[in-house]
């Protein structure tokens, strides 16, 4: 496995020592691409001390201000969680997720998201993920610290890289999956068209329509060509409305 193909993304890490522990875990398993989203303290001497020889991983770490920026250029994205989530997320065991990540990384960079130590990933931060990773633990004490969680996932990635059948799910030569930026543009375009045609959430709360749409489109794992097709359809709808005398967007 080329370590440049899979990014480890830490969202809002609170403790610099944990960042160092993650860097060490990554280097143990042959991964080098670390991205930090809004870290509280970085760089920091404690991170360097805990890295214990993985100084190069820390030195090359990329710092961003948003999950979308951190995932720019990535295709397949998996997110870790220890909390029960609703039924709209696809959940994979860590070993199955690792096989998928390594396979998908052959056609475009892939990424694994890890949340803040105390709170994990918010639903908003999970929007870019195609699947959730569930790490089996004891029911009596299911909590893993950040360094441990990254060590387990990266270990499975190393094991998966030694497998023989790691082809992407869509087959060889398939178009890369749309990245987070492309998907955000699609969602913004779709929300705009829904507003223009007055298609609204008719449920009692009236707040979940776009959330549901995002979830099922993430499960569909759209490639770039498919996103372009959908956006072309949306543009055609807007053009027809203008031709019919509808309001301009």
* pLDDT per residue as tens digits for the range 171-222: 555 788 999 999 999 999 999 999 999 998 876 666 688 888 998 999 999 9
Closest by CA position to 187, among listed 211, 164, 168:
211
pLDDT > 50? residue 144: yes
* 249 inside domain: no
- Show Cβ contacts of residue 87 under 8 Å, excluding neighbours closer than 6 positions: none
- Which domain, by its residues, includes 77? 3-161
Please say whether the beta carbons of 37 and 8 come within 8 A.
no
pLDDT > 60? residue 167: no
Residues 45 and 132 in one domain: yes
Which pLDDT does position 184 carry in this prediction? Answer: 94
Which pLDDT does position 131 carry in this prediction? Answer: 94
pLDDT > 50? residue 153: yes
Residues 62 and 128 in one domain: yes
Task: Write down the pTM of the prediction.
Answer: 0.83
Residues 48 and 146 in one domain: yes
CA distance 120 to 216: 22
Mean pLDDT of the 81-97 span: 80
pLDDT > 50? residue 151: yes
Mean pLDDT of the 160-168 span: 68
pLDDT tens for 6-51 read: 999 999 999 999 999 999 999 999 999 999 999 999 999 999 999 9
Residues 26 and 122 in one domain: yes
Count of domains forming the chain: 2
Q: How far is CA 180 from CA 120, 205, 206, 234, in A?
A: 20, 27, 25, 19
Mean pLDDT of the 162-179 span: 68
Residues 11 and 130 in one domain: yes
In the structure encoding, which two tokens stand for residue 49, read together? 């001390």
pLDDT > 70? residue 238: yes
Q: How far is CA 66 from CA 73, 177, 185, 227, in A?
A: 14, 20, 15, 22
Which pLDDT does position 138 carry in this prediction? Answer: 85
Q: Is 38 left (phi over 0), alpha (psi -120 to 50) or beta?
A: left
* 91 inside domain: yes
Which pLDDT does position 1 carry in this prediction? Answer: 44
**Selected residue with higher pLDDT from 163 and 246:** 163
CA distance 153 to 112: 9
Which segment of 38-42, 58-62, 120-124, 163-167 scores lowest on mean pLDDT? 163-167
Residues 8 and 106 in one domain: yes
* 166 inside domain: no
Percent of the chain exceeding pLDDT 70 equals 88
Mean pLDDT of the 166-170 span: 54
Residues 226 and 139 in one domain: no
Please say whether the beta carbons of 196 and 247 come within 8 A.
yes
Which pLDDT does position 75 carry in this prediction? Answer: 95
* 46 inside domain: yes
Tell me the average pLDDT of the chain: 89
Backbone torsions φ then ψ of 80, nearest 5 degrees = -90, 145
CATH number of the domain that 21 lies in? Answer: 3.40.1280.10
Q: Which of 104, 134, 161 is the last residue of a domain?
A: 161
Please say whether the beta carbons of 189 and 43 come within 8 A.
no
pLDDT > 50? residue 94: yes
């Amino acid at each position: 496995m080329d370590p440049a193909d899979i990014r480890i993304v830490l969202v809002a890490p609170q403790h610099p020592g944990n960042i160092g522990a993650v860097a060490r875990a990554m280097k143990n398993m042959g991964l080098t691409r670390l991205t930090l989203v809004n870290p509280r303290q970085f760089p920091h001497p404690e991170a360097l001390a805990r890295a214990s020889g993985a100084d190069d991983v820390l030195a090359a770490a990329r710092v961003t201000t948003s999950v979308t920026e951190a995932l720019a250029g990535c295709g397949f994205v998996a997110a870790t969680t220890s909390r029960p989530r609703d039924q709209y997320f696809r959940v994979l065991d860590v070993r199955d997720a690792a096989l998928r990540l390594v396979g998908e990384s052959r056609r475009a960079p892939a990424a694994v998201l890890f949340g803040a130590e105390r709170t994990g990933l918010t639903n908003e931060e999970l929007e870019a993920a195609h699947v959730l990773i569930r790490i089996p633990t004891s029911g009596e004490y299911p909590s893993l610290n950040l360094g441990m969680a990254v060590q387990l996932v990266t270990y499975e990635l190393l094991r998966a890289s030694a497998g023989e059948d790691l082809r992407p799910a869509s087959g060889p030569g398939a178009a890369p999956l749309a990245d987070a930026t492309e998907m955000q543009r699609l969602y913004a375009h779709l929300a705009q068209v829904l507003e223009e045609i007055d298609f609204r959430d008719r449920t009692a709360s009236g707040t979940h329509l776009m959330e549901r749409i995002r979830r099922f489109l993430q499960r569909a794992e759209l490639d770039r060509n498919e996103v372009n097709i959908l956006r072309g359809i949306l543009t055609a709808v807007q053009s027809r409305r203008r031709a019919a005398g509808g309001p301009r967007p």
